[in-house]
Structure 1
Amino acid sequence: MRGVFTVAKIAVSCAYYGFDSEYSYSVPQDLKPYISDGIRVVVPFGKGNKKTIGFVIRTYESAEYNGALKPVESVVDERSLVTPEMMKIIFWLKENTFCTYFDAYKTVVPTGFSYRIDLHYNLVNTYIDESELSDEERGVIAFMRTSSSQREVDKFLSLTGNEKRKKALDRLIDRGYIELSDTLKRRVGDENIKMVELSRDYLDGNITATLTPKQSLIVKLLDEVGCASEKEVRYMTNCTGDIIKRLENKNVLHSFKTEHFRDALGESENSYMPELIELSDEQQTVYDGISELIDSNNPCGALLYGVTGSGKTLVYIKLIDKVLKSGKTAILLVPEISLTPQLLSRFKSYFGMTIAVLHSSLSLGQRTDEFKRILNGSARIVIGTRSAVFAPLRNIGVIIMDEEGEQTYKSDSSPRYHTRDVAIQRCGHNNCILLLASATPSLECFYYAKSNRFHLFEMKKRYSDAKLPDVKIVDMQKQAASGNDGLLSFELIQAIKDRLSKGEQSILLLNRRGFTTTVSCLSCSTAISCPNCSIPLTYHKKNDHLMCHYCGYTMKFDGHCPVCHGDKLQMSGVGTQRVEDEVVRLFPDAGVLRMDADTTSSRYSYEEKFSAFEKGEYDIMLGTQMIAKGLDFPNVTLVGVISLDKSLFTGDYKSYERTFSLLTQVVGRSGRGDKPGEAYIQTFVPDHYVLELASKQDYDGFYEQEIALRQALMYPPFCDMCVIGLSSQMESRCIAASDWVTKTLSEYIKNNKVSFPLRAIGPAPCAIEMINNRYRYRLILKTRNCKEFREMIKDMLYKFYKNRDLSNVRIFADINGDIGL
């Protein structure tokens, strides 16, 4: 054959890492106008030519026709959902996080846009000579003739485990007795509303119709407003849908459907102007400095280190207003869903409907519609959690990461990216600034700022000259010695009483949910543990169940040991439910609000509960770390930390940093208005230097001690750490796979004479050895994250996936991820 042919390189959705590649397909002439980078298509894949969804990575023209290439069968999208910039991000994710192309695509494009291919089997309307059929074939034909629905047929014939039936089905298809068809079904469809207007013929006088009084009301309304939704017309004229339908039949009305975006913002009106914000001298200095960086149009990073309550949000608003006025867009990232409602409410009052919001509490439909608003340019500011960094904005002027040191910015599933790294890539593509901000920056970012890799800006005073809270450390050992066997110290109890008498509010923090964390049997000396995970079950008093917070396993608590069936059980450890019981007992007239994963499972829980607390409907808010950061309640003048001792001794090199950050942040919730604040930290290790420095809000002192320790022990930022994680239902296979990985990496190092530094720790069992019936091992590599190192890991992963002896073992590689579990 002669001429030029179009070839598409396509990544398919069903390929796992060992076979993830750019597969070549020919593009038929009739599909050529619809094929572009990022477009999803249906292609045949594998030996059986199973229809599979893939997306086009690139296309090129070839003068040589390759008859072996399979053709693209159809196009899924009307236009690409992936901008050219996000295609670059997909390649970056593939290269740097060891994920598949389609894992990267699904991260960039919301789940609501995903499609599935449904196969349908139908009898062809031809004569069937059953005498030439086998018994199995006749059985298939008989079932199809007597089935009550297409769904029943499809379910019966899609059973891949029945090899005999499958062969019979294939023969019937080859003979033309059964036809196989397929349909594409999107996970979330577009939401459309019916609109009505006066028809052109009626307006031109070509239609004359006798109208009833109700019909005349409808015609009069539409003559005034031009066009309205059917729902609005029915409401305004108090008529039924049948009346509207009759007018359509008379050709008086014309109806059509238009896309309606599902609301994720709620009511939104601009009630304030960013220009009217008055910044303090310190805020103005920071704003001017960052503005200069924005005006330079050069990609760069900046760290805003500001104490709690210093007014960082006002600086964000002014900076975003600046970039919007210059014709650019902005992204504001927050670490927790719980921070979104309060922050969103504030930004809506300044920017209205130019905002789009992206976080996991939205429905699939809302998330899909917000993505479309961003893609079509109607939203110019995106506020959201980790995944919002992939928002398809164009011409970005600033990306802001609030509380940048939070671990929630790191993804713990494929692709295992850090939001900060993706944001840096996007800043490079848009020539814009990445502003990292926190009262407790991550040690890595503060080190980079001190080393002039980031520009450093500081705000050391609270806004409106509010004072930092007075913090006291309470020794719980002395409390026990003085006869206090409760969960709250005498000092904290008295402080809460004082606040209640003044009409002020209090916040209590305990970062463990449930009632008690361990239930032990005194007869057989065992803890009641999860059958799927190597951890004790947590007792939840509210539903009288024992629960695993890792795999979700639950069992009814009947007061007996499941091992020896004895009834001598001892409960130990404290969760938020137990603290709630004690607080209610001590303060029966106070309104107590508990905020943890058990009480905030519904979609609007955060917004409703925080709003109620802000209005003064509750006096005391008790919760886990979701209440510790970013929240602003002017009437809160007391914070009590029930206990954070356990977090100091998790065995993770970041345990001190996380504990310091959590303490500093939650203490900073106190005294943010015009009333002085106070905080109490209860502990059994009162002399620990982390607690002492946190009580003084002395981040600089903590940084100096911790960075010296990191350097001495060679931890980030002085190296990168890659975790090779393995899991299997059989421990022996997990151990064998760990040994294989170690041997394979050793051989690669020997054969390729690598030059990058490398230290290996392990392989060894993880801190929690089994989760969800899978044994877990890991190998930790201290190294430098360079292309040469990533090539070594990719080589090992490709070999691993192609090794059939390891098919029952799962593996992942995670650079600078969490090593605590």
Structure 2
Amino acid sequence: MQARFTVAQVAVSAASYSFDNEFSYLVPDEISSLIRPGVRVLVPFGKANKRVIGFVLRVLTFGERPEKIKPVLRLVDEQPLVSEEQLKIISYLRENTFCTYYDAFRSVVPAGYGYICRTHYALVNSKNEGDLSEEETAAAEYIRNCTSQRDVDEYLDFTGDKKKKALVMSLIDKGVIEESQELRRKTADSEQKMIRLSDDFLQARAGISLTAKQTLVVKLLDECGCISEKEVCYMTSCTLSLLKRMGDKNIISFFKAEALRNAIGEQKIRTDPETIILNDEQQQAYDGILALCDSGKPAGALLHGVTGSGKTSVFIRLINAMQKRGRTSVMLVPEISLTPQMLKKFGSYFGERIAVIHSSLSPGQRMDEYKRIMRGEATIVIGTRSAVFSPLKDIGIIIMDEEGEQTYKSEQSPRYHARDVAIQRCGFNNAVLLMASATPSLESYYYAKNGRFSLFELDHRYNDSPLPDVRIVDMSSPKEDGNDGVLSFELAQSIRDTLEKGEQSILLLNRRGFNTYVSCSGCRKPIQCPNCSIALTYHIKNNRLMCHCCGYSMPFPETCPECGSSKLYSSGVGTQRIEQEIARIFPEARILRMDADTVSTRYDYEEKFLSFENGEYDIMLGTQMIAKGLNFPNVTCVGVISLDKALFAGDFRSYERTFSLITQVVGRGGRGKKPGTAFIQTFVPDHYVLDLASRQDYKEFYEQEIALRHALIYPPFCDICVVGFSAVLESKAILASEGFSDMMNDYLSKNQDSIKFLRVLGPAPCALERVGGRYRYRMILKCKNNNNFRIMISTLLKEFSKKSEFKDVRIYADINGDIGL
């Protein structure tokens, strides 16, 4: 019979974008039956044959042995970590976000599955030591006298040392030392000690006498078969020493079993989703979306509903319908802060069928949730944008709550948008992508109005409760009247009335810290971060100036670092300053501040929001994390301290984001039976965006904004691609951006027919010119994101990376990302 040779096409972790590809490796016969797409392997890579991890993309067979092909050294996974569908998503990410295969793989698979590969060296008995050079002899002698493996490995580590590398390679070639690799997973499986009755005891139990405690243990094991050591001790009140003695007598046997780490706590079903009563608007939307799900074709839908219109109830009924049909569901939320309330509500309907995925989970928790989903134990996934990669099978619906939020877009490689990935997955599964928001992105609403998505609208709040009464407060007038505080008279009085009635208030200010900058009266310069072109923010809690870009901090100075003047003054308002002001005006109020300084984990969100919901606080003050998706029925007063800076941020999306933030935070009030009131403090009270947001008139805002986008040619009438450059020296960043521009012009001159539409802005400095000690320049390309355009960008990125004059410059391309910074 003719021999067959198996070849694996592998994507390796060590490849940069400029030479990322499918690399061919010969599969040894002993593991050929185990090699399949999605498993990881250890392979030699590069001229030095460095041992690296890769994952298999495809498996090929040949009748003849391929020449000049390296072998797979080791199989890392027994089973694939990614499905065929996820492999397609990985290829999609590589093509559309200009990342490597392995960057995409790392986004799909939890970090806990990653391996650390360490190289070890050992001296072997060799007859060739007499043929060694003086230097090689000295090295062999040193290794022989080492007392630990760590000393040997550190001595022979040749990273960045070409001379030592040649020495090590020579010693290996001459058989003096041997090289081996240790693979250790970053996060180990969680295990627990289990107990069962031994086979010997089961065969001869009639002749074995037991104490009273031992009898209880045996009786429990007879009932349960096997049970954890901790549970045995708890249920029988026995001690570990008793169990050890029973093990020594071979009455019981011990073994270890996997114990999944709990990420969401105990979830018990308390309510049947069918008991949710939908009003006429909700029922019409539910019926229409369910019909799309049952059509057997991929589809997109937009559910536009005012705040408090009951969109979540529609979600629950739709997910329940998918469960009845044996299909799975994904529920995406934009912020971690929304996860606890969402889990609490969904858990009461679906119990342990829910898995949660977001960045605040520990690596072990995230890995174990991934296992539950792969095994089919969880059929509903709730989480932030990375949850879109969950290894669910037969997805029926993917729901994106608050779909217009920028947090759904990744700002690091791979620079994907969760909506785009969701569209791909819906295509693979014949599923429905349901986008929902009171303030959907202009692009999504435009596509819905033009028939690309089905549009469903909820124009009224559930049970017809009224929207809050919104008032725009001109902050220039109060100053003239002698009020120099950060709260207007109207807002302060409303908070006082709310406190007297035992109700709650929410205040929004999207800037943390105490003062937003500290300036010098002498040289008139703000104190800036030494690494970034941004003013340091003063934090009163630790009396330090901090950079909100790179994390740099310094004690509050007595004199100006620039000119030495002692005349320093603080300006601008942050959440810490507002907290102090509220405490001064309302000393009896219990204040909860929610920002990045007070909240760091999912459990912080959960505990603080639960405390507020239970009435332990009167006023919640925070940044945008408190603005969306939260439901507190006792909140009747909402205050927007200031959003003028966001309104004039200079980004073409600044009006949209400001409108969305105001509409969403105003919608947190009056969600129960009590009417709500909201106040928007501003120095530009006549601005049309504030007026429309106060009336929650999204449709009129859309009409005005879409006309402006059309006139200026911005999305949805084009795509935006940002090509960014950063370098330690500004001159190199400028040179790189200009060099890329020349390369692009040369490409376009040779491929005139391939790119039909392109407008180029720049190159120019970014709004924040320096971040983390690196100068940043960029080009903004108005384009059509089609295959020809992506081929051009990919080609230019690879050519750029091969030029030696740009070796110290970092480059990236980001389609439809944030251009504000």
TM bucket, shorter chain: over 0.9
Amino acid aligned to 2:606: E
**Corresponding position: 1:649 with 2:648:** yes
| C-alpha contact (below 8 Å) 2:128/2:174 kept by paired residues | no
**In structure 2, C-alpha distance between the alignment counterparts of 1:455 and 1:765, rounded to whole Å:** 41
Alpha-carbon distance change, 516 to 209 in structure 1, aligned in 2, over 3 angstroms: same
Structure 2 counterparts to residues 101-112 of structure 1, below 5 A: 101-112=101-112
Partner of 1:595: 594
Partner of 1:79: 79
| C-alpha contact (below 8 Å) 1:140/1:169 kept by paired residues | no
**In structure 2, C-alpha distance between the alignment counterparts of 1:118 and 1:580, rounded to whole Å:** 50
Structure 2 counterparts to residues 234-273 of structure 1, below 5 A: 234-273=233-272
Task: Report SS of the residue matched to 2:29.
Answer: coil
Task: Report SS of the residue matched to 1:781.
Answer: strand
Amino acid aligned to 1:796: L
Amino acid aligned to 2:61: E
After superposition, give the CA deviation of every residue in 1:319-341 in whole Å (9 maximum; x if it has no partner).
00001100100000000000000
Partner of 1:18: 18
Partner of 2:99: 99
| C-alpha contact (below 8 Å) 1:207/1:251 kept by paired residues | no
Post-superposition shift, 1:472? 0.3
Task: Report SS of the residue matched to 1:268.
Answer: coil
After superposition, give the CA deviation of every residue in 1:593-618 in whole Å (9 maximum; x if it has no partner).
00000100134100000000000000
Post-superposition shift, 1:445? 0.5
Partner of 1:6: 6
After superposition, give the CA deviation of every residue in 1:232-269 in whole Å (9 maximum; x if it has no partner).
11223333333323322322112221111100111210
Partner of 2:408: 409
Structure 2 counterparts to residues 69-148 of structure 1, below 5 A: 69-124=69-124, 134=133, 136-148=135-147
In the alignment, structure 1 segments of 5+ residues that lack a partner are none
Partner of 1:308: 307
Partner of 1:758: 758
**In structure 1, C-alpha distance between the alignment counterparts of 2:461 and 2:647, rounded to whole Å:** 28
**In structure 2, C-alpha distance between the alignment counterparts of 1:207 and 1:566, rounded to whole Å:** 93
Amino acid aligned to 1:332: M
Post-superposition shift, 1:503? 0.3
After superposition, give the CA deviation of every residue in 1:98-120 in whole Å (9 maximum; x if it has no partner).
11100111111111111121111
Amino acid aligned to 1:20: D
**In structure 2, C-alpha distance between the alignment counterparts of 1:50 and 1:97, rounded to whole Å:** 28
Alpha-carbon distance change, 478 to 429 in structure 1, aligned in 2, over 3 angstroms: same
Structure 2 counterparts to residues 307-456 of structure 1, below 5 A: 307-456=306-455
Amino acid aligned to 2:553: T
After superposition, give the CA deviation of every residue in 1:770-804 in whole Å (9 maximum; x if it has no partner).
10011101011111111111111111011011112
**In structure 2, C-alpha distance between the alignment counterparts of 1:33 and 1:687, rounded to whole Å:** 72
After superposition, give the CA deviation of every residue in 1:128-175 in whole Å (9 maximum; x if it has no partner).
96x765554455445444444323332332242444444333333333
**In structure 2, C-alpha distance between the alignment counterparts of 1:513 and 1:468, rounded to whole Å:** 29
Tell me which moved more, 516-525 or 324-333: 516-525
Partner of 1:281: 280
**In structure 2, C-alpha distance between the alignment counterparts of 1:512 and 1:145, rounded to whole Å:** 61
Partner of 2:41: 41
After superposition, give the CA deviation of every residue in 1:457-487 in whole Å (9 maximum; x if it has no partner).
0001111221100000000000100000000
**In structure 1, C-alpha distance between the alignment counterparts of 2:200 and 2:592, rounded to whole Å:** 62
**In structure 2, C-alpha distance between the alignment counterparts of 1:162 and 1:425, rounded to whole Å:** 46
**Corresponding position: 1:476 with 2:475:** yes
Structure 2 counterparts to residues 561-710 of structure 1, below 5 A: 561-710=560-709
Structure 2 counterparts to residues 457-536 of structure 1, below 5 A: 457-536=456-535
Task: Report SS of the residue matched to 1:526.
Answer: coil
Post-superposition shift, 1:390? 0.4
Partner of 2:775: 775
**In structure 2, C-alpha distance between the alignment counterparts of 1:384 and 1:245, rounded to whole Å:** 43
Post-superposition shift, 1:207? 8.6
Task: Report SS of the residue matched to 2:6.
Answer: strand
**In structure 2, C-alpha distance between the alignment counterparts of 1:315 and 1:689, rounded to whole Å:** 32
Amino acid aligned to 2:481: S
Partner of 1:55: 55
Task: Report SS of the residue matched to 1:369.
Answer: helix
**In structure 1, C-alpha distance between the alignment counterparts of 2:575 and 2:146, rounded to whole Å:** 54
TM-score (norm 1): 0.98
Post-superposition shift, 1:216? 3.7
**In structure 2, C-alpha distance between the alignment counterparts of 1:155 and 1:383, rounded to whole Å:** 45
Partner of 1:223: 222
TM-score (norm 2): 0.98
Tell me which moved more, 739-748 or 620-629: 739-748
Amino acid aligned to 2:790: R
**In structure 1, C-alpha distance between the alignment counterparts of 2:131 and 2:49, rounded to whole Å:** 28
Tell me which moved more, 773-782 or 137-146: 137-146
| C-alpha contact (below 8 Å) 2:337/2:602 kept by paired residues | no
**In structure 2, C-alpha distance between the alignment counterparts of 1:466 and 1:624, rounded to whole Å:** 27
Amino acid aligned to 1:561: C
**In structure 2, C-alpha distance between the alignment counterparts of 1:203 and 1:366, rounded to whole Å:** 37
Post-superposition shift, 1:125? 5.3
- Number of equivalenced pairs: 820
| C-alpha contact (below 8 Å) 1:207/1:252 kept by paired residues | no
Alpha-carbon distance change, 146 to 602 in structure 1, aligned in 2, over 3 angstroms: farther
Amino acid aligned to 2:683: F
Alpha-carbon distance change, 504 to 148 in structure 1, aligned in 2, over 3 angstroms: farther
**Corresponding position: 1:798 with 2:806:** no
Alpha-carbon distance change, 142 to 617 in structure 1, aligned in 2, over 3 angstroms: farther
Task: Report SS of the residue matched to 1:527.
Answer: coil
Amino acid aligned to 1:550: C
**In structure 2, C-alpha distance between the alignment counterparts of 1:245 and 1:150, rounded to whole Å:** 36
Partner of 2:559: 560
**In structure 1, C-alpha distance between the alignment counterparts of 2:90 and 2:418, rounded to whole Å:** 14
Amino acid aligned to 2:769: E
| C-alpha contact (below 8 Å) 2:128/2:175 kept by paired residues | no
Task: Report SS of the residue matched to 1:204.
Answer: helix
| C-alpha contact (below 8 Å) 1:202/1:208 kept by paired residues | no
**In structure 1, C-alpha distance between the alignment counterparts of 2:105 and 2:12, rounded to whole Å:** 11
**In structure 1, C-alpha distance between the alignment counterparts of 2:777 and 2:265, rounded to whole Å:** 46
**In structure 1, C-alpha distance between the alignment counterparts of 2:433 and 2:443, rounded to whole Å:** 15
| C-alpha contact (below 8 Å) 1:545/1:554 kept by paired residues | yes
Amino acid aligned to 1:98: F
Task: Report SS of the residue matched to 1:70.
Answer: coil
**In structure 2, C-alpha distance between the alignment counterparts of 1:334 and 1:685, rounded to whole Å:** 32
| C-alpha contact (below 8 Å) 1:209/1:250 kept by paired residues | no
Post-superposition shift, 1:178? 2.3
**In structure 2, C-alpha distance between the alignment counterparts of 1:312 and 1:603, rounded to whole Å:** 24
**In structure 2, C-alpha distance between the alignment counterparts of 1:603 and 1:270, rounded to whole Å:** 22
Partner of 2:30: 30
Partner of 2:175: 176
Task: Report SS of the residue matched to 1:412.
Answer: coil
Tell me which moved more, 684-693 or 132-141: 132-141
**In structure 2, C-alpha distance between the alignment counterparts of 1:545 and 1:101, rounded to whole Å:** 42
Task: Report SS of the residue matched to 1:756.
Answer: coil
Amino acid aligned to 1:16: S
Query: How much identity, in percent, do the aligned residues show?
Result: 61
Partner of 1:715: 714
Tell me which moved more, 746-755 or 693-702: 746-755
**In structure 2, C-alpha distance between the alignment counterparts of 1:165 and 1:94, rounded to whole Å:** 36
